[in-house]
Structure 1
């Protein structure tokens, strides 16, 4: 007498289908010592029921006017616990893979990023991976994991749009570097790198539209300025000009 699924939440509420023979007139389904709810005799070979709360492994039996069946095993599974998610941000287009660590993840069937759900890859009971779906808008969304034991949330993932550069002030400085430059644009609050002519520059994020950077040493002439975040890179071609000092 098979039962499907053969596992569910310790809180109950799992709808199971029991197949067998001579099931007409089913009067009760029990999980261990507890009666199931919403018992439906679908046909002489099929019964559905909703599991009560429980723990561990219990025997499920079906009772008809002809007697009580042999028990089949049903496994109660606790709700998952998530301890971390990495990375915690990415482009609004989605497509990058995140790793979720925790416990009770071996039966994971769904990971939701806000309103969008994807099917994860189970690595082990303590780790799953998921490909992030596209986000509706930039910003944080809650991340929830659904397993046979239930659904657990509490983690957050942030969708990020690629940056743009709209201006620099000043636009020139000495080849020795050390010029404080204000870069304006959009989606700059998650900036993780600024370069002048391919050389990495120290920077500070002021807000979503402003970053302050200090030019590294360079050679005389115009160079590209690039600014990157986890969603992409913006380039302002020839935006800064290194000026050579006077010689006598």
Structure 2
């Protein structure tokens, strides 16, 4: 006599289907010593019941006018606990894979990022991976994991838009580098790198529209300037010109 699913939350409330024979007239379903909170006699071979609260492993029995069945095992599972995300931000387009660590994750069936959900891949009881779904808009959203034991919230993920560059001032300087430049644009608060012709430059984030950087040394001529954040990279082609010093 199988039961599906054979595990559920310690808080109860899991609807299970019990399959067997001679189930007509079922009057009670017990989970251990506790009665199911609801029982529906679907057919002579099938009964549905809602599990009461409980813990550990219990035997489930069905009682009919003909007697009580043999017990079948049902496993109570505690709600998951999440301890962290491998990455707490990413593009509003989604598509990046992150891992979630914690406990009680082996039965995870869904991970919600705000209003959008994704199906995770279970690595172990303490680790799952999930492809982040697209976000409705830039900003933080709550992350919740649903398992057979219930749903747990408490973590946050921030959706970020790709940066843009609107101006660079000054737009030229010596090949020796060391020029302080101000880069203005949008979505710059989470800037991870500023580069001149591919060479990383020291930088400081002023606010969401302004970044200050110091040019590295470079060869004479116009070079691309890039600004990167977790969502992507903005490129301003030939935006800064290295000027060779005078020679005698």
Normalised by the length of structure 2, the TM-score is: 0.97
Partner of 2:116: 116
Q: Which segment drifts farther, 213-222 or 7-16? A: 213-222
Distance 1:171 1:42 in 2: 77
Report deviation, 1:247: 2.9
1:156 aligns with 2:156: yes
SS at match of 2:8: strand
Partner of 1:210: 210
Partner of 1:86: 86
Partner of 1:47: 47
Distance 1:211 1:115 in 2: 32
Aligned residues: 248
Describe how 1:158-197 pairs up with structure 2 within 5 A: 158-197=158-197
Normalised by the length of structure 1, the TM-score is: 0.97
Report deviation, 1:187: 0.8
Gaps of 5+ in 1: none
SS at match of 2:246: coil
Report deviation, 1:174: 1.7
Report deviation, 1:241: 1.3
CA deviation profile, 1:199-228 (whole Å, cap 9, x unmatched) = 110000111111010111122221111111
Gaps of 5+ in 2: none
SS at match of 1:176: coil
Partner of 2:10: 10
Distance 1:217 1:167 in 2: 21
Partner of 1:34: 34
Distance 2:246 2:95 in 1: 51
CA deviation profile, 1:46-88 (whole Å, cap 9, x unmatched) = 1111100000000011111111111110000011111111121
Distance 2:2 2:218 in 1: 74
CA deviation profile, 1:102-126 (whole Å, cap 9, x unmatched) = 1111111111111111111111111
